[in-house]
Amino acid sequence: MLHRGSEKLIELRNWNQCIPYFNRLDYVSIVAQEEIYCYTIEKLLLLRISSVCSVSRVIFLEISRIFNHLLAVVTHAIDVGAFSPFL
């Protein structure tokens, strides 16, 4: 993972202005990075979200996790010489 100095970039910004910076922390699981940040803000501000929103977040996180695993398998296969999983 690349260090981009995100802590310094978001130091002087409002909490809702920081969300786009978490897209750049991990190029594969962008949704997960934003969700964790928003979850933290909700806990700090004592906000409650609906159950529909909570379920949709879990679904998106699980899809993101599956994509991460598939990407890891494909890149490992390419490293050992198999190109067909990429296609």
Chain segment 15-39, per-residue pLDDT in tens: 778 777 776 666 677 777 778 878 8
Name residues whose C-beta falls within 8 Å of residue 35's C-beta, 6 or more positions apart in sequence: 57, 60, 61
| pTM across the whole model | 0.62
Residue 86 is predicted with a pLDDT of 66
Q: By C-alpha distance, which of 13, 16, 8, 9 is closest to 44?
A: 16
Residue 3 is predicted with a pLDDT of 59
Per-residue confidence band for 40, with pLDDT thresholds at 50, 70 and 90 = confident
Q: By C-alpha distance, which of 87, 61, 65, 62 is closest to 74?
A: 87
Chain segment 44-72, per-residue pLDDT in tens: 999 988 999 889 888 988 988 888 888 88
DSSP 30-50: HHHHHHHHHHHHHHHTT----
